[in-house]
Structure 1
Amino acid sequence: MSRPTPATRRSAKSEYIETDTGNKISRRSIIEGKQNIMLGGKSVVMAGAMLRGDLVRKPEKMADGEKEGPVTAIHVGRASIISTNCTIRPPHRISRGRMVFYPMRIGDNVFIGPGTYVSSAVISSNVHIGTNCVLSAFSVIRDNCKILPNTVVPSHMTIPPGSVVGGRPARITGEVGEGWGQGGGGEGEEYVEGGDLRALVRSIR
């Protein structure tokens, strides 16, 4: 019986396509409307993640008949991680009988856990979102927040900076406290929730 061939370094790296700005996008992710998605650099989109950049407000016609420029549906900052099987979908509402989509902005150093559904308007920087959460349409998550696993954030809810949130529906259960996010991100340092995700991004192959 022949022995199995060990995986080569080349095949181990083939899971991700790396862009010029250091973003790592899994070949098994689902990216719709790529032209309407902006990744800020050194961010990761893992296998099974779905980004719906095709859900975007159609350009309006200007007075001179020209159309306005392209609209960014999803903007992700630097060193953020969208984990396996997440869905990132811009928020929408019905206006004058038609569905209108609004842009979504995700900040720097945001970790979105596996199986989470996101339709927020804004997720600010240094936010840690647990597994299997639902962030409903037009919710706003401010800086330095921790969303516990299995949390459902209702539509239009705004979570203030430094909050710990959990429950179905979500409620504020505490504060992250001083030192949240500090100590992570350096070479050889262990990842800290809410911290700099660059070291964790580098470790993903």
Structure 2
Amino acid sequence: MEPPVYYSRAEFIETDTGNKVSRRATIAGPQNIILGGKTIISSGAIIRGDLRRTGPGHAVVISLGRYCLVGEGCIVRPPYKTYRGNFNYYPMKIGDHVHIGTSTIVEAATIGSHVVIGKNCVIGKFTIIKDCAQIADNTIVPPNTVIPALSLFAGSPGRFMEDLPESTQEMVEAQTKQYYTRFQPLDR
């Protein structure tokens, strides 16, 4: 069993569904961000739910599933493109059991469940990451890339390296639940 990861209770807001959000994180447009429960948003993370499509009332939703971790200094913002002269943002969906490493920038369209993204990565606009995929540290995934299920991508630009074992789903789920359990307040 790995040692606990301690945090200051004063620094984190805990929701009814067990989400733990750092007061040092920037949550812009919180009404457009959905957290599935037991998700940790670390210090310095920026989640941009305030970016919208052209026209009033077209908020773009960012949804994260259960047992997700957005690492320190991460930036999560919806993908955008200009179409017929209009600049538009598009929704982003992140599945359950997704860990995003420190200082990673994510502009993906969809991230499946049981996905591990390393630190210092750039996930380009409209990237689709299928279930049980892994992105190695320092990887730059070009825009519009589709990363297949059970594959490891690494490098700059990110390339397929190897297939992951069928047990990836169970391993990642165990790791994300264990991390959440280990994430303990220092001042009880």
Does 1:33 pair with 2:12? Answer: no
Structure 1, residues 124-177: CA drift from partner, whole Å, max 9, x if none?
A: 000000000000000000000110001011111101100000011111000111
Letter in 2 for 1:44: I
| Structure 2 match to 1:147 | 135
Written as runs of structure 1 = structure 2, the 5 A alignment for 1:106-121 is 106-121=94-109
Q: Supply the RMSD in Å over aligned alpha carbons.
A: 1.7
What secondary structure does 2:153 align onto? strand
Q: Provide the C-alpha distance between the structure 2 equivalents of 1:79 and 1:162, rounded to a whole number of angstroms.
A: 19
For the 8 Å contact 2:78–2:107, the answer to whether it is kept is yes
Q: Provide the C-alpha distance between the structure 2 equivalents of 1:54 and 1:166, rounded to a whole number of angstroms.
A: 31
| Structure 1 match to 2:76 | 88
| Structure 1 match to 2:173 | 195
The runs of 5 or more residues in structure 1 that have no matched partner are 1-10, 61-66, 183-191
Q: 2:117 aligns with which of 102, 119, 129?
A: 129
| Change in CA separation of 1:97 and 1:59 when aligned onto 2, cut-off 3 Å | closer
- TM-score, normalisation: structure 2: 0.88
* Residue 33 of structure 1, CA deviation: 0.6
For the 8 Å contact 2:22–2:42, the answer to whether it is kept is yes
Larger relative strand fraction = 2
What secondary structure does 2:82 align onto? strand
Identity score, percent:
41
Does 1:43 pair with 2:39? Answer: yes
The runs of 5 or more residues in structure 2 that have no matched partner are 1-6
- TM-score, normalisation: structure 1: 0.81
| Structure 2 match to 1:14 | 10
Higher relative contact order structure (alpha carbons within 8 Å, sequence separation ≥ 6): 2
Structure 1, residues 87-115: CA drift from partner, whole Å, max 9, x if none?
A: 00100001222310000000000000000
Q: Provide the C-alpha distance between the structure 1 equivalents of 2:96 and 2:80, rounded to a whole number of angstroms.
A: 23
Provide runs of 4+ in structure 1 moved above 6 Å.
none
| Structure 2 match to 1:160 | 148
| Structure 2 match to 1:53 | 49
What secondary structure does 2:8 align onto? helix
Which protein shows a greater Rg?
1
For the 8 Å contact 1:130–1:148, the answer to whether it is kept is yes
